[in-house]
Structure 1
């Protein structure tokens, strides 16, 4: 048996590679991530909003301090950021539009409430030193084990610095930093797990000068709110709350929180009107109330704020590093720990601020209260904590173990999706406007089933016409064209299903148009190869010898033509938005898969056909005219000789 030329893969091996590719692809389709339901259900690609409808969420912008809606420029900037967040993968083709003066409406194909619930968050990241900490003892303060019946608001509670936060049984997130010459190494300790025995009975240390910013003027709205709250809780309770300089000591007197019981009835918006000192010191104000404060409640960079983590209330310093100091955020899989992290790269100015903040926490002044807070939250702590705050949530509060001068990481209970969500929120920036999520509803398809069927019918007609032409003009070679298109279609369909589950790719009518256009590109590569084959036969070579030579000469042209198409699709994808982006993605994907079929099926099958009698027959192979002309030329040459 004749061996193939050296350096040429055996046709059977190429076909085996193609078969293995199909096995892997359709194993992912039927058994891969996201595959569920019956086998028929697993074959459904993710369809776009124009074909199957989807979910629509409305976000209402908060009015400005003067009662006016946000400027149009701010709304447009917010729309772009939300659009980037929703389309973080670039292929979801969501619709994000401004409606009226204060609404932004987001529409996503299919059931996507989970995808939409966080896209309207402000994503304001702040790095704040933890100055004081106390437990969330609201439940005990409101209903003490042995409350004295005579307790009244006139009773003067005994303030102290006692701290008894609830124990955190689950490991919290932490922040690490790659060592790059920073003092004391490059890792921050895990976030504190408050211990039940952690208690600082000594009076709270006096705040240092650096921890006491200039008082911020109270706007008229908060003044009115505080007057209403004072009336609601009673003058005696309000006066007692204003006089508190530290959390109430419930360990010494469990009933000491009863005079402040009325504060437990305040709403999140009412709690937000209180001073940070009252939010922190009043024992009946719970973390649940603090978490229900409006969006943007603790975004002010130059104000001290109160936030919660793992059952502990934290009094936080002004923000000395903010989200705009971060150059980029990237989700990464930590190979050593086997968990997802969010890697942070700071800007040059941001890195200086971050280094200064970690130095301040690692080497606190003698009168800095942050060290007592760290010891209260984490037994044996020798350095201060820095809280990483996203909007109203403390996502990490690690003890600083060194002066950090390099890249940092936020780690915690992340999976791939949550790590990417956080990284996208940081990367695309904070919204310039604060939004409240309104109703989420289901919307019907804008085009519907008939248009989908029409698009698929157009694709089938296009493929059928190509096949008819191929069989008419190339005969046996037409079967190669038909099988190539069929295999390319199966690869494309499988890729659509897998990409829909893993990257959110949605098939729209524009995408179907891209696949139909790719049929022309695939047909061109056939014409190039087969016409090159005829040229080789015209030059006097046998059909069997012409096949490898025609492949070598046609291959370069096929690759060049497909590369140009792919480059055009890439450029169109980058510069376009919405449906045009989906068209470009579909065109590029189908062209790449066509190249795979060209190399792993079309060429090896032609090599195998060249060794068959049918291929050598002028009537069957489709090369009859070329062979007949070649035979006539040979006969003429023989006669002339």
Structure 2
């Protein structure tokens, strides 16, 4: 039987490996912060702890099911890559504690906001006019900080939608858009009571707060009622209120978020001193009722733009998924929102309605009298409000403004995992120290070094020259692992924990097993009487099948464990799978070519150096009759095929 060719072009293998390692470390030193430092997990470096308290309309504790669902969604968001290993636990009957290896509280606030999405037709837009130095008194704490991922969120639901919302307020438009009459002196709160106990409790709370607001404002309340009536009748035009009248309603700018929320929706929109600062200070979840018309504000550069919004015709429950990406045509990041079957129909109908409104004209002026914009509302803020120029039958695309890579990924992550069933108030945020600390990390690294040392000693003792191949292969594997850790920390948020270190330690055995399989196959070939040079290709053909099978089983086990496990076990499974992939890379591109190259050297083929000197062919044993033992360092009897 002819032997397979022992000549492989080892330079090609080494060149491919060199390109991979060079590319890996070029990314390490030329991208991100350019520091070759892996991201450490919460147990090794500490991070941020945030306590969230659930808010309910009746003030009672939420159901255990809703609280646990919220905990799971928050964990999925924070751990979107599956390897950040956050600690998200419930505390008591209404609190959730989130611990992450992240020093940026603002980023964590974005991840824990409710992310309740609604698409509402814009009935009218206007500008607030806060008195100089006016700020809302005692704003309600918000669980989300800034609800919009973009400061100016100029977005378009499709490529055909304009990114410019209407900026000319119309008192008549807002009056006609309102479903309720102008409020009287005893105006009812904006939420209509219903048989739903939660809605009824919320309406009762708002009515109580409104009575307190009327008493607190005194003459300013009567002045506000007078201005509201004048604006709805067209006698007072927006932006043309005389200074004396504006000063009489200035106290509205000092209302807290809860007090602003109790005002009738028409008053929230039409009174210029009900500012966006006050509207944005409302507690999370005040716009959750999709059957009510609401007032919301833009963010960032357009933070003084108020929107009078219709009932929500499309909501987050109609969304199937969301992805972030870069639009090369517009040169910016965006979020593509895809809809379910019925949700797609609702979205198309909403764009049709908005387009029809934009085409209607005011008989008295001959100009368009209706707004054709659709607002994309996330929680309590408007992400964007593009004009609809044509019916859209595809996905909604949120783009433009200050949406960048991070904010687009955060928004897509929020929408992908769904909105929280509860709204939360941030009780406190603080830095936490490492739960294990650097000492335990040193112990883990020491355990890994001991494991590597034992493998090296065994290979040198048993395989001699081949043991040097093991050492070189482990060094290459270590370089690949370290570079991968740094890049994964930057791109996927991978945080190396003590469990992850344990995964790498276990992987040392898997890597060493690949060497053993190959070398033992090589010994078998030499034992059959072949030279080392001719034995290498034969041994590799037989060994690589076993190596591939063993690594496939190991990777499959790691993948299943990663899929089913949570928390630190995920980190263990991830590093185990990563090490298995790198093991295949090193064995195929370095170990095999290196052994093949060395086999061409007479020095390496020497039985004393290669470690194959104690291998005696079966034919030699038979000739000796098994009576005598071959010398330990005797020459190997070979045959050429």
- Runs of 4+ in structure 1 deviating by more than 3 angstroms, as ranges, are 139-143, 202-206, 208-212, 241-250, 252-256, 365-369, 627-638
- Conserved? CA contact 2:169–2:238, under 8 Å: no
Q: Is contact 1:79-1:97 (8 Å) kept?
A: yes
Residue 332 of structure 2 corresponds to residue 339 of structure 1: yes
For the pair 1:512 / 2:511, whether they are aligned, the reply is no
Change (3 A) 1:205 1:72: closer
For 1:401 and 1:565, how far apart are their aligned partners in 2?
Answer: 55
In structure 2, the CA distance between the partners of 1:514 and 1:562, relative to structure 1 (3 Å rule), is: same
The Cα shift of 1:297 comes to: 1.7
**Normalized against structure 1, the TM-score is what?**
0.85
Shift of 1:605: 0.5
Q: What is the Cα-based RMSD across aligned positions, in Å? A: 2.9
Alignment partner, residue 150 of structure 1: none
Offset of residue 205 of structure 1: 6.8
Residues 1:207 and 2:176 aligned together? yes
Return the offset for 1:210: 8.2
TM-score (ref. length: structure 2)? 0.85
Check conservation: 1:248, 1:282, Cα contact below 8 A.
no
Cα deviations across residues 443-498 of structure 1 (Å, max 9, x unaligned)? 12222222111111111111111100100010000000111112111211121122
Give a deviation string over 1:191-242, Cα, whole Å, max 9, x none. Answer: 3273xxx475x84475269899x97227221111111111111143354256
Residues 64-103 of structure 1: pairs in structure 2 closer than 5 A? 64-103=56-95
Which of the numbers 306, 310, 317 marks the counterpart of 2:310? 317
Q: 2:320 aligns with which of 324, 327, 338?
A: 327
How far 1:173 sits from its partner (Å)? 2.0
Q: What is the CA-CA distance between 1:554 and the residue it aligns to?
A: 1.0
DSSP 3-state at the match of 2:93: coil
Q: Residues 218-229 of structure 1 correspond to what in structure 2 (within 5 A)? A: 219-229=203-213
- Aligned counterpart in structure 2 of residue 386 of structure 1, from 374, 378, 383: 374
Q: For structure 1, list consecutive stretches of 5 or more residues without a partner in the other structure.
A: 36-41, 144-169, 178-185, 377-381
Residues 191 and 396, structure 1, Cα contact 8 Å, conserved in 2: no
2:99 is equivalent to residue 107 of structure 1: yes
Structure 2 CA distance for aligned equivalents of residues 424 and 17 of structure 1? 36
**Deviation, structure 1 residue 253:** 3.2
Residue 274 to residue 475, structure 1, CA distance change in 2 (3 Å): same
488, 499, 503: which one aligns with 2:492: 503
Matched, 1:191 2:160: no
Decide whether the 8 Å contact of 1:141 with 1:261 is kept in 2.
no
Alignment of 1:137-286 (within 5 A): 137-139=129-131, 172-177=153-158, 187-192=160-165, 194=167, 198=168, 203-204=172-173, 207=176, 216-217=192-193, 219-235=203-219, 236-240=222-226, 243-246=229-232, 248-251=237-240, 253-286=242-275
Distance 1:171 1:119 in 2: 19
Work out the CA distance in 2 between the residues paired with 1:630 and 1:529.
23
Number of the residue aligned with 1:355: 348
Moved more, 401-410 or 23-32: 23-32
The CA distance in 2 between the partners of 1:108 and 1:463, in whole Å, is 31
Contact 1:48 1:93 in 2 (8 A): yes
Give, in angstroms, the shift of residue 505 of structure 1.
0.7
Residue 559 of structure 1 corresponds to which residue in structure 2?
548
Structure 1 residues 172 and 521, CA gap change in structure 2 (3 angstroms): closer
Corresponding position of 1:396:
384
SS state at 1:97 partner: strand
In the TM superposition, 1:345-494 aligns within 5 A as 345-364=338-357, 384-412=372-400, 413-494=402-483
Query: Residues of 2 paired with 1:419 and 1:429: CA distance?
Result: 15
Alpha-carbon distance in 2 for matches of 1:173, 1:65: 33
Q: How many Å separate the matches in 2 of 1:134 and 1:252?
A: 14
1:621 to 584, 588, 610: 610
Q: In 2 relative to 1, CA 482–98 (structure 1 residues): closer, same or farther, beyond 3 Å? A: same
Q: Could you say if the C-alpha distance between residues 490 and 572 of structure 1 is closer, same or farther in structure 2, counting changes exceeding 3 Å?
A: same
Using a 3 Å threshold, how does the CA distance of structure 1 residues 537 and 398 change in structure 2: closer, same or farther?
same
Q: Does 1:607 align with 2:596?
A: yes
Structure 1's 336 and 367: CA in aligned 2 closer, same or farther, altered over 3 A?
A: closer
Identify unmatched segments of 5+ residues in structure 2: 136-150, 182-189, 194-199, 626-636
- Verify the 8 A CA contact 1:205 1:367 in the aligned structure 2: no
Aligned-pair CA distance for 1:404: 1.3
Structure 1 position 422, deviation (Å): 0.3
Alignment counterpart, residue 125 of structure 2, candidates 115, 123, 133: 133
Name the residue aligned to 2:629.
Answer: none
User: What do residues 401-439 of structure 1 show as CA deviations (whole Å, max 9, x unaligned)?
Assistant: 111112221112322211110011111111111111122
Cα 1:228–1:248 change in 2 (3 A) is farther
- Distance change (3 Å), C-alpha of 1:49 and 1:362: same
Residue by residue, what CA displacement relative to the aligned partner does 1:233-287 show, whole Å, maximum 9, x if unpaired? 1143354256355375443634432221221221122111101101111121111
Please state if 1:303 is matched with 2:266.
no
Structure 1 position 582, deviation (Å) = 0.4
